[in-house]
Chain A
Amino acid sequence: DAGVIQSPRHEVTEMGQEVTLRCKPISGHNSLFWYRQTMMRGLELLIYFNNNVPIDDSGMPEDRFSAKMPNASFSTLKIQPSEPRDSAVYFCASTGLSTLGGEQFFGPGTRLTVL
C-alpha cells in the first residue's frame, strides 16, 4: 500500500490567496483526520470524517477553513483567504476497522508558508 498521500508537499502563497490541500487515505480506511502542527501550538486536530461524513470540526480555527470528503478516497482542506498565521505543516491521517485498536497512519504532510 502506498500509505496516506498528501499534495502538494510544499506550498508557498501570498496572504489573501486561496489554498487547497489534498489527501488520499489508505484504501479501505473509513476515518480521516486533518491535523495542523506548529512550534507554538504543537499538534492540533482540525476536523475528522467517518464514512465521508464530518463528525467534529470544532478544531477548525476560523470560517476561513473548510474541509470536504466527497468520496472515500479523497479529502481537501481549503483556506480562503489565507493569512501568515496559517503557516504550518498540515497532516492528514487515516484509520479503519481493520486496524485493531484504531492506530492512525499519517501522511508526509504539506508545509504551508503564507507570505
Chain B
Amino acid sequence: AQSVAQPEDQVKVAEGNPLTVKCTYSVSGNPYLFWYVQYPNRGLQFLLKYITGDNLVKGSYGFEAEFNKSQTSFHLKKPSALVSDSALYFCAVRDNTGFQKLVFGTGTRLLVSP
C-alpha cells in the first residue's frame, strides 16, 4: 500500500533562514506526491505536486520540493522563511486504486520565529 512518513512533528526556524520539512514515501509504481498547508482554522490548501519530470518542483508562496527517487524522499523547502509560513504541513501520495484517493502523512508543524 502507498504511504508517506513525516518524521518530524515540529520544525522550528528563524525568519530569513532556509527551511526544510521532510517526507519519505513508499509506493508501488510511479509516485504522485503532494504537499498541502493548513493555516489555523482553515482547510488544507494545495501547495505543489510531483508527477513526472524535473526533480525540483516549484509551488505556491515560494515553496519548492525536491523529489529523490533513490532516497524515496520528497522534502519541502523554502530558501527564506517568513513568520507567516507558520502552519501545519502535510505530505501526501496518491493511492493506486484509480480513484484519486490521497494518503496523507501525520503532518509537521512549522514554527517560524521573528
Contacts and interface: CB of A to CB of B under 8 A. Distances in A.
Given A48-B101, A95-B100, A106 B94 contact: no
A101 B107 contact: no
B99 A103 contact: no
A45 interface: yes
B104 interface: yes
Contacts of A104: 46, 100, 102
| Interface size bracket, B side | 10 to 19
Given A42-B107, A43-B107, A91-B44, A102 B90 contact: no
Contacts of B107: 42-43
Interface string A89-102: 00101010000111
Interface in B64-114: 90, 94, 99-102, 104, 106-107
Interface in A45-94: 45, 48, 50, 55-56, 91, 93
Interface residues of A, number: 23
A4 B44 CA distance: 11
A93 B36 CA distance: 13
B45 interface: yes
A55 B45 CA distance: 24
A50 B45 contact: no
A4 B45 CA distance: 12
Nearest to A43: B104
B108 to A, nearest CB: 12
B43 A91 contact: yes
Nearest to B45: A106
Contact of A108 (B36, B43, B100): B43
A109 B46 CA distance: 15
B51, B99, B100: most-surrounded residue (chain A CB, <10 A): B100
The 4 closest A-B pairs by CB, nearest first: A102-B100, A106-B43, A106-B44, A101-B51
Interface of B: 32, 34, 36, 42-46, 49, 51, 90, 94, 99-102, 104, 106-107
Interface of A: 4, 31, 33, 42-43, 45, 48, 50, 55-56, 91, 93, 95, 100-109
